[in-house]
Structure 1
Amino acid sequence: MTLTCASSAQAKGPSVKAELTRLQDAGQLDAPTADGYRTAYDDARETLRRLSGFRRVQLRAVIRNVDAAASGHLFIPTRLKAEFLTLQRNREYWPAHPSPLPRAGQRTTFAGSQIVWQFYPGQGWQIQWLGTFGKANALWMVKTRDDDLRRLLDEALGLATQRAGGIAFEYLFTFDGGRPPWVSGLAQGTALSALSRGAVRLRDNRYFDAARTALGIFKTPPPTGVLRRTSNGSHYLQYSYAPRLRIVNGFTQSLNGLHDFAALANDAEGRALFAAGEKALRAELPGFDTGAWSLYSKPGAESDLGYHKVLRDFLRGLCDRLGGSGAQAAQVQAPPAGATTPAPAATADPKLYCDTARRFTADLTTKPKLEITAPAKALRAKVDAHVPFTLSKIATVTITATRAGQVVLSRTARLAYGKHYVSIKPSRAGPLLLRVAATDLAGNGNAAQATVHVRAAAKKHRGV
């Protein structure tokens, strides 16, 4: 299946009702289902007329996403379940919750459902698949909530979309420049872990079958899938709409999911997909380690504190799965009846992942390194100058210059690792004490200082 990005504008293609009628006439939707979707759409538009301000903006965005999917010829029966559920949840929520307003990134569940939703300002409440399958993995770890685990997995599978020759858990809203419907290797990999673990815990091969069909996006290039072939193997993208963006934490977690499925289901295709991805990650990972902190993406900047820890944890997971902690974490139970015996997904050396995770842990307590390069020649008063300094990791930096104990310059900024300059224009001759203090994202502080000499301003010469 080839996807075309939907426009946010309506009326350039079929309407929602026209597309529902087309699917019904083609026998792809039965009459009660099509009528239910029409009613949900009409109810949402009627509710929109009664809303104002912030709440109106959220529901209007959700309606426009549905309009755009219809206009872009993106209505298919399996996708409509999640499309109209999203419409229904937002129509119910915004009139019924006058205050307080949800905060960006807030998550919730609705009564009678295990699915996790997240609030995205300007896009309303949306299914958060990463959070949903993260919850499933948490239920698996508890070991006493198997009924909830089964309900969650069954509910999630009921909302999966046919895509890339299998099923996918699609995001149906605009995010960071990407238009729906898009998929994430990070979320799909987390789903593979949850489904595979569920198959074993619940002794139900249906979840292995579902995970097997969910491999499709890892075999398919964007925008339908997340596969980007490289000279070193296969990179699995975080976002299907961003083929040039490499986000290492999402890539790592996609491999954890592939490994869990390959090992627990003893699946040859899963092993091949894992091996191709692991080969690429082995080549790419050193480029995301600055020596003092992690990079979030390429192209891009350093990780924030949360993403640095997330990457560390995902690498620990890969280290453990490859036997770096002495045992494979995925192989925890006997397989369900009729399944083959779990087998190692790969024989890759875990050392790189174990060592990198340990370094990233050490980065959390290591002070930033600073070095100021004092100019070899004295600066000239009343002339702009630049004094270079280097910083080892992202930090909040305060630069001060004092003359005879008096502060003559003070600046604070968040700076990335690498080479920077202090721009200064001394007012008069004499020594300046230049001090650069840095506090990294984990709260570790350090400082460096240097004396900069300033000579008198050049004399002005009068013409004859």
Structure 2
Amino acid sequence: MGSLVFRRALLTAIAFSLLAPASGSAGPAADARAIRAGLTSAVADGRLDPADAYRYRIDVRRCREVLKLLRYSRFSNLAAVLHVVARHAPRFNRRRVLALFGMLELNTEYLAVHPMPASGTDIRDDEGVVYRATWSHGLQFHPLGNFAALNADLTAGNDERAEALARALVARAVGPSGTSRWEYYFSFGGGRPPWTSGMAQAAAAQALARASVRYGDLALLGAAGRAYRAVADGLVMQLSTGPWVRLYSFNRLVVLNAQLQTVLSVANYAALADDSRAAAFAVRLRRAATDLFPRFDTRYWSRYSLGRESPLRYHLYVIDLLRKLALRTGEASWTHRADRFDRYTTEPPLLAPGSPVRTLYPIPADGHRDVAPIRFWLSKMSSVTLSVAGDEQSYRLTGGWHTLIWRPGRQSPGTYTPTVRAVDLAENRGSAALQPVMIRLDREPPVVRASVARRTLTWRSVDEGTPWLRLRVRLWRPGVFKLVRLGIHPLSGSLRLPLPRGRWTAKLVAFDSSGNRTAVPLGVVPAP
């Protein structure tokens, strides 16, 4: 017994020493070494059968051979999947490797003969398991996509396919005793894999309960219960209004559609499984959604999460969920919310002008009042085009106050009225005229007051068209004239005059940035 324990410990140490690639190595070769080491360790620890490990080593070898034949996107995406598997090598166990190597097999076979599909495309394997095209990550095992597919198969009456998929998904569940979780294995939104989703777990509970009823399979009902407990026991956060589902296990993003879908999924599971605790939990989730709902309504559009407006597809998704809640609960308030959100899809974006724009003096370009900060309010997320004097600028803006900068350059003096056009996510259009912008040429000399005390010159100036003055002092006495150049200075200030010896009659000459000048007599300097 002692020698067996020693042998397992030795194999584990050797395997994990291989998990870190040698200095300078990277890419598929290093990932393949890490995977093989992880398989060796899992076998040594009893987490994996040797026969399964042998088969998975063949998968790795086949992937490496296919990679040699691929280029560009197909190569990078298959290599990314191999890397995802390698990242999880220290956590290999019977269930996790089924998901990971099933994903590797599917990607190897698919990308060997097909281009990488568009992001969001679902590809299914022989068991019906869904792998979703994910930008730069290949075709990834996708729990929410899988349970949506299971529900769709059940609804369509594809019983053979649905039963096979249900069993395949149960086999891929991981988690501590009493719960079943389906993991996402790729990095997303700042979260480190593996991560889970409360919304996906609730969908799992509901779909597996449906399958259990359809096929009279209590094992599937047990899996549904474990999926639900994973939500209730660890994938909710407590807000002031009550429990809120974690869409992503790695953050506390408060997402409306996730909460509404989870309410429906958990309530449906509870009814199918006759689970009174789940039913009570669904009620608490629904009340939390009711109390927080006003914060998701901007009065012009919906918010996806607190502080962020919904993309169109999520806005429409929420409308659908609200109508389902109205049907399930019989509460008219959900219908009213759905109708209001639906109305937002037909209302044009509203625009309102902001504060007046100060007169511009763009010539010369001296950094002072050369550009116009054009401020306006927008009711909801839209594509916005600002037009001024034939110039157009386009932006994608959210609802709220915005300031856009117009640079007139050498535009002729005059008054210009900016207009702004907006097209919202549902293609509704709105427009408005904004505060006029006046452009002037500065032809007025600066108003300057100046005096000299001993050798200190002090000046104050008013000139709305310039940010600075170029100062000179003219000195003269009988038969002698001198010019002292003082350089550029702010509109007001003081400095010590660099006067030559003797007494002089002085005059300050101030030029603004447009070349306008003012002369101010200073009297005799230095003063007696």
Query: Which TM-score applies when normalising by structure 2?
Result: 0.72
Deviation, structure 1 residue 166: 1.2
Number of residues of Structure 1 aligned to a counterpart in Structure 2:
412
Deviation, structure 1 residue 78: 1.3
Deviation, structure 1 residue 82: 0.3
2:216 aligned with 1:245, yes or no?
no
Deviation, structure 1 residue 288: 1.6
Q: In structure 2, what is the equivalent of residue 102 of structure 1? A: 117
Deviation, structure 1 residue 258: 0.8
Q: In structure 2, what is the equivalent of residue 421 of structure 1? A: 403
Deviation, structure 1 residue 442: 0.6
- Separation in 2 of the partners of 1:179 and 1:215? 23
Q: Which has the higher contact order (CA 8 A, sep 6+)?
A: 1
Q: In structure 1, what is the equivalent of residue 272 of structure 2? A: 264
1:432 is aligned, of 397, 406, 416, to 416
Deviation, structure 1 residue 163: 4.4
Q: In structure 2, what is the equivalent of residue 180 of structure 1? A: 193
Q: In structure 2, what is the equivalent of residue 65 of structure 1? A: 84
2:127–2:161 CA contact under 8 A, matched in 1: no
1:429/1:26 Cα in 2 relative to 1: closer, same or farther (>3 Å)?
A: closer
1:273/1:164 Cα in 2 relative to 1: closer, same or farther (>3 Å)?
A: farther
1:10/1:50 Cα in 2 relative to 1: closer, same or farther (>3 Å)?
A: farther
2:359 aligned with 1:379, yes or no?
yes
Tell me which amino acid in the other structure corresponds to 2:267: H
1:10–1:68 CA contact under 8 A, matched in 2: no
- Separation in 1 of the partners of 2:304 and 2:165? 31
1:169/1:432 Cα in 2 relative to 1: closer, same or farther (>3 Å)?
A: same
1:386–1:421 CA contact under 8 A, matched in 2: yes
1:317 is aligned, of 306, 321, 324, to 324
Q: In structure 2, what is the equivalent of residue 5 of structure 1? A: none
RMSD (CA atoms): 2.6
Deviation, structure 1 residue 245: 1.9
SS at 1:399 equivalent:
strand
Q: In structure 2, what is the equivalent of residue 202 of structure 1? A: 215
Deviation, structure 1 residue 391: 0.8
Tell me which amino acid in the other structure corresponds to 2:341: F
- Separation in 2 of the partners of 1:191 and 1:354? 27
1:433/1:46 Cα in 2 relative to 1: closer, same or farther (>3 Å)?
A: same
SS at 2:128 equivalent:
coil
- The 5 A counterparts of 1:202-241 are 202-221=215-234, 226-241=235-250
Segments of structure 1 that go 5 or more residues without pairing to the other structure are 1-8, 325-349
Deviation, structure 1 residue 193: 2.2
What are the superposed Cα offsets for residues 362-408 of structure 1, whole Å, 9 maximum, x if unpaired? 11111111112362x86344333323211111111111124xxxx3x
- The 5 A counterparts of 1:424-463 are 424=406, 427=411, 429-450=413-434, 452=436, 454=438, 456-458=440-442, 459-461=444-446, 462-463=517-518
Q: In structure 1, what is the equivalent of residue 376 of structure 2? A: 389
- Separation in 2 of the partners of 1:269 and 1:76? 32
Tell me which amino acid in the other structure corresponds to 1:30: D
Structure 1 residue runs of 4 or more that deviate by more than 4 Å after TM superposition = 425-429
What are the superposed Cα offsets for residues 78-121 of structure 1, whole Å, 9 maximum, x if unpaired? 11110111111112222222xx44222222223x3212221113
Q: In structure 2, what is the equivalent of residue 346 of structure 1? A: none
1:209/1:386 Cα in 2 relative to 1: closer, same or farther (>3 Å)?
A: same
Q: In structure 2, what is the equivalent of residue 131 of structure 1? A: 145
1:378/1:47 Cα in 2 relative to 1: closer, same or farther (>3 Å)?
A: closer
2:260 aligned with 1:279, yes or no?
no
2:22 aligned with 1:29, yes or no?
no
SS at 1:246 equivalent:
coil
Larger Rg: 2
Q: In structure 1, what is the equivalent of residue 37 of structure 2? A: 18
1:83/1:452 Cα in 2 relative to 1: closer, same or farther (>3 Å)?
A: same
1:117 is aligned, of 117, 128, 131, to 131
SS at 1:108 equivalent:
strand
1:453/1:155 Cα in 2 relative to 1: closer, same or farther (>3 Å)?
A: closer
Deviation, structure 1 residue 164: 7.1
1:450/1:62 Cα in 2 relative to 1: closer, same or farther (>3 Å)?
A: closer
The structure richer in strand per residue is 2
Tell me which amino acid in the other structure corresponds to 1:431: T
Deviation, structure 1 residue 436: 1.4
- Separation in 2 of the partners of 1:31 and 1:150? 29
